[in-house]
Amino acid sequence: MKKRRQPIIIPNVLVQDYAAEGKSLARIDGKVIFIERTVPGDVVDIQLYKNKKDWAEGFPIKFSKLSEERIEPFCEHFEICGGCQWQMLPYDKQLIFKQKQVADNLLRIGKIDLPEILPIIGADETRFYRNKLEYTFANKRFIPDDEFIQLKQQNLPITNEGSFGGFHAKGVFDKVVSINKCHLQSEPTNEIRNAITTFCIDNKYSFYDIKNHTGWLRNMMVRIATTGEWMVNIMLGFEDEKMQQHLFDFILQKFPSITSLLYTINTKVNDSIYDLTPVAYYGKGYIEEKLEDYNFIISPKSFFQTNTKQGEKLYSITRDFAELTSNEIVYDLYCGTGSIGIFVSKLAQKIIGVETVSEAIEDAKKNAILNNIHHTHFFAGDVIKICNDDFFATHGKPNVIITDPPRAGMHEKLVHKLLDIAAPIIVYVSCNPATQARDLALLNEKYRVTKIQPVDMFPHTHHIENVVQLKLR
């Protein structure tokens, strides 16, 4: 029988600096150790779970001393649900670390000449800032370590079965963290989730079993707009008209502020609804949001910046970096529902938007009509295939390209396509400075980076948006 390896534990380690992805670091005899759930100034015993020659990764098993920079987290679910990992840090410190994250990624991965990075733009509101949240209902919950130990010490039964509403537990696919109050979205979002949970328990409606794929009540998405409109979309494991009507009528009676109530039947193994059809039970089936003077239709499957107020700042910076004079043809790549293209449209001669998701392009066209904008043109498909010589001959070559890819960044073929197109200005909006840095290194063949502006869209997390202006050499 193979002997089990003893865990490697390093005692009394001083956490020295912030790293990336929410981790901090320490250096021991020239070796860098990345540590979860710590901040600079903590002194901890670390258990390693990865151990290489020059670096290692670990987590704290004992705190000998807490950093003086720590503050009391405001959420009762901190460190359990896996979100808002930086509540123990003052917001001004979070911004310092996020600025450092952008600089480290661009210098370490990009390895190109950079201008001075502009000071990060922080959020005015650091709680209740999200316009969209997704909850999970399940028949098993995640039991936190403290509760598990307490139950064991008191010889009380340990069971995780029941009916719960909350968020997926980090690193555990089949259990949810039962949430009482989340501080990410304003009320009545918690009241809606808790009321639905209680109602379905009282009526003995089954909660979804994530592992065995059985049960009725599955997920819920809540969206709110600054216009005061609310959308709730409830995902169900199977169709049952009687139960649906009973639940939905209860929701509408208890929460009259809901302007659109939808449901989606999902019989698949995964939770994605992008190949499913939400059905409007009440209301128009979408909500309308406003950025500056522009109105946007947001349907259940639409992508929209999840922090509306910071999104407005992000788009304003993007527009400034585009340096438009009303004479430019602007290509908006990964345009989604057309929000960036429409936001900059007053200063452009023409907007050409390209997006792979056809439903998003339909929303983009509706948004252009809604705002009485007639010089936007939106196309569904792969930008590499769409942007050929015939397309340029028809619509004109771009003077400015705006690209806002997903976290994985741009496909290498698209980067080479941008080099071929050789637009005078590229504005690269990124939610992942690491993949952005990789792409900037490739673009460096023909472009120089001229402006860099980080924007904090997600307070109390390690996530950061970054806008970069590039100009043709």
Q: What pLDDT score does 132 carry?
A: 97
Task: Indicate the residue type of 81.
Answer: C
pLDDT tens sequence across 312-356: 999 999 999 999 999 999 999 999 999 999 999 999 999 999 998
Within a domain: residue 180? Answer: yes
Do 46 and 182 lie in a common domain?
A: no
Q: Domain tally for the chain?
A: 3
Within a domain: residue 456? Answer: yes
Do 149 and 285 lie in a common domain?
A: yes
What CATH number has the domain bearing residue 104? 3.40.50.150
Do 270 and 344 lie in a common domain?
A: no
Do 340 and 468 lie in a common domain?
A: yes
Q: DSSP letter string over 363-412?
A: HHHHHHHHTT--SEEEEES-HHHHSSHHHHHHH---SEEEE---TT---H
Between CA 127 and CA 78 the distance in angstroms is 14
Do 442 and 375 lie in a common domain?
A: yes
Do 218 and 310 lie in a common domain?
A: no
C-beta separation of 304 from 296 below 8 A = yes
Q: What pLDDT score does 2 carry?
A: 58
Please confirm whether the linkage preceding 60 is cis (ω < 30° from 0). no
Do 110 and 225 lie in a common domain?
A: no
Domain boundary pick from 291, 324, 341: 291
Domain boundary pick from 30, 53, 70: 70
What CATH number has the domain bearing residue 277? 2.40.50.1070
Active site residue 335: no
Q: Smallest Cα–Cα separation from 398: which of 335, 328, 318? A: 328
Within a domain: residue 83? Answer: no
Between CA 457 and CA 465 the distance in angstroms is 7
Do 310 and 418 lie in a common domain?
A: yes
Do 283 and 311 lie in a common domain?
A: no
Long-range pairs of 12-17 with CB within 8 A, sequence gap ≥ 24: 12/43, 12/44, 12/45, 12/64, 13/43, 13/44, 13/45, 13/46, 14/41, 14/42, 14/43, 15/39, 15/40, 15/41, 15/42, 15/43, 15/44, 15/67, 16/40
CA distances to 27, 118, 302, 353, 419 from 380, in Å: 49, 35, 14, 9, 22
Q: What are phi and psi of 106, to 5 degrees?
A: -65, -35
What CATH number has the domain bearing residue 15? 2.40.50.140
Do 154 and 229 lie in a common domain?
A: yes
| Alpha-helical regions (H) of 74-132 | 91-105
Do 104 and 215 lie in a common domain?
A: no
For tokens 């390093």, the residue is 10
Q: What residues pair up with 32 in beta bridges, in sequence order?
A: 27, 55
Within a domain: residue 90? Answer: no
Within a domain: residue 187? Answer: yes
Low-confidence ranges of the chain (pLDDT < 70): 1-4
Within a domain: residue 375? Answer: yes
The domain containing residue 138 runs over which residues?
132-291
Q: Smallest Cα–Cα separation from 184: which of 326, 336, 320, 77? A: 77
For tokens 């904090």, the residue is 456
Q: How far apart are the first and last CA of the chain?
A: 64
Q: What residues pair up with 215 in beta bridges, in sequence order?
A: none
Domain boundary pick from 291, 323, 349: 291
Say how many C-beta atoms besides its own lie within 10 A of residue 45's C-beta: 15
> 84, 200, 335, 431: which one is catalytic?
431
Do 287 and 311 lie in a common domain?
A: no
CA atoms within 13 A on the CB side of 313: 16
Within a domain: residue 88? Answer: no
Within a domain: residue 453? Answer: yes
